[in-house]
Amino acid sequence: MKVKNQNYQTVWMQASSVFMIEQNLLPFEFKIFESINYLQTCQAIKTMIVRGAGAIGATAGFAMAQASIEASNLSKEKYILFLNKALKNIEATRPTAQNLFMATSRVYKKALISRELAILEAQKIADEDAMACKKIGEFGNKLIKPNYKIATHCNAGWLAFIDYGSALSPVYEANKQGKNIFVWVDETRPRSQGARLTAWELKNENVAHKIIADNATAHLMSQGQIDMIITGADRIAANGDTANKIGTLEKAIAAKYYGIPFYVAAPTSTFDKNTATGKDIKIEERSQDEVLYQTGLNKNNKLEKILVASPNSEAFNPAFDVTPVELITGFITEEGISR
């Protein structure tokens, strides 16, 4: 997708380095981060230089490919021990995103054979991700009528994948076709991926939009200002229960109350057949500082971190929630729309 009219993907591998858009600096600064080994790539996932289900998956795959390169001079036995350790380290970076485990395991299996196959497999995962998202856009677009006002939560745009995005891919397709759509962008506290990343993406792609506080969505629904909601997913259980960014559940409940279609857009790689229901999905708890502090541009155009809550009070910060399948109108995948 476009950044200042130039095309980019979110993550890519070249020789033994993994390159990625530094998403912690967005939307204020556009910078490419180069990770030269797999542990650095793990750290990049952990510190959210790269984030979003698909992008995390592809990056984890690349990290496993990096590990196989790093270990390639070792004896067969030590090579496997190194890979096992790497598998554990990569899987420990973020606990919720299904794509991470899928990608790491696929590349690990190839790495057991050779590093060349590992690199090819990692690239294949990234390519599949971009292709799946493109198709999600084509299928999802069919649900969007002209002049629709669409709400989305968090960032399931191209920055969360390799390209196109999941929830935003239908939006981009509809916009390309001149459907005169409008997007309500949930701020998505505490990390504000909506206000920072989704708004930035939509601006770059010339999609009409406005940012709202997360608290405003139900109000807009009550005023007839939202025609449909599309969000992404971090993991979809076998029964359809969907883990996604904290707050998704609240939007889904409100959408049900007002009879507004609520769609989850995700590649089939996000579906986890080994997890029976939402109750079995582990919810990541992140640092309370994400709630208590905010980072942004000060008046001198420098990034500054400020305390935005009462000093000496603590916060609780679950990163995801689980939306029960009964609240979901349908899933938009690269294979079509399922209800």
Active-site positions read: 234
Q: Is residue 243 a contact partner of residue 283, using CB atoms and an 8 Å limit?
A: yes
User: Of the two residues 102 and 212, which places its CB atom closer to its own copies in the complex?
Assistant: 212
- Dihedral angle at the C-alpha atoms of 97, 102, 107, 108, nearest 10 degrees? 90
List, in order, residues 6 or more apart from 198 with CB less than 8 Å away.
152, 154, 155, 157, 168, 183, 185, 188, 209
- To its own copies, the closest distance from the beta carbon of 151 in angstroms equals 12
- To its own copies, the closest distance from the beta carbon of 313 in angstroms equals 4
Which one of 88, 276, 289, 318 is in contact with its own copies (CB under 8 A)?
318
Q: Is residue 11 a contact partner of residue 59, using CB atoms and an 8 Å limit?
A: yes
Between 36 and 75, how does the x/- string for binding to its own copies read (CB under 8 A)? Answer: ----------------------------------------
Q: Is 209 in the site for its own copies (CB under 8 A)?
A: yes
Which one of 78, 85, 109, 210 is in contact with its own copies (CB under 8 A)?
210
Residue 332 phi, psi dihedral angles, 5° rounding = -105, 115
Q: Burial, 99: exposed, middle or buried (Cβ in 10 Å; 0-12, 13-18, 19+)?
A: buried
Q: Is 259 in the site for its own copies (CB under 8 A)?
A: no
- To its own copies, the closest distance from the beta carbon of 162 in angstroms equals 21
Q: Is 163 in the site for its own copies (CB under 8 A)?
A: no
User: Of the two residues 81 and 309, which places its CB atom closer to its own copies in the complex?
Assistant: 309
* Residue 144 falls in which region: left (phi positive, over 0), alpha (psi -120 to 50) or beta: beta
Number of residues that bind its own copies (CB under 8 A): 64
Compute the distance between CA of residue 300 and CA of residue 287 in angstroms, rounded to an integer: 28
Compute the distance between CA of residue 124 and CA of residue 336 in angstroms, rounded to an integer: 21
- To its own copies, the closest distance from the beta carbon of 2 in angstroms equals 15
Residue 212: other Cβ atoms inside 10 A: 18
Which one of 52, 190, 232, 240 is in contact with its own copies (CB under 8 A)?
190
Q: Is residue 155 a contact partner of residue 201, using CB atoms and an 8 Å limit?
A: yes
List, in order, residues 6 or more apart from 100 with CB less than 8 Å away.
45, 56, 57, 60, 90, 91, 93, 94
Q: Is 305 in the site for its own copies (CB under 8 A)?
A: yes
Compute the distance between CA of residue 56 and CA of residue 42 in angstroms, rounded to an integer: 10
Q: Is 105 in the site for its own copies (CB under 8 A)?
A: no
Compute the distance between CA of residue 284 and CA of residue 96 in angstroms, rounded to an integer: 6
User: Of the two residues 143 and 211, which places its CB atom closer to its own copies in the complex?
Assistant: 211
At position 312, the amino acid (one-letter code) is N
Listed ranges 10-18, 71-79, 191-199, 269-277: which one lies at the site for its own copies (CB under 8 A): 191-199
User: Of the two residues 128 and 214, which places its CB atom closer to its own copies in the complex?
Assistant: 214
- To its own copies, the closest distance from the beta carbon of 26 in angstroms equals 8
Q: Which of residues 270-299 bind its own copies (CB under 8 A)?
A: 283, 291-299
Residue 264 phi, psi dihedral angles, 5° rounding = -110, 125
Which one of 81, 92, 238, 315 is in contact with its own copies (CB under 8 A)?
315
- To its own copies, the closest distance from the beta carbon of 141 in angstroms equals 23
Q: Is residue 49 a contact partner of residue 24, using CB atoms and an 8 Å limit?
A: yes
- To its own copies, the closest distance from the beta carbon of 276 in angstroms equals 17
Site residues for its own copies per CB under 8 A: 27-28, 184-185, 187-190, 192, 195-197, 199-200, 202-203, 209-219, 222, 245-247, 249-250, 253-254, 256-257, 283, 291-299, 304-318, 321-322
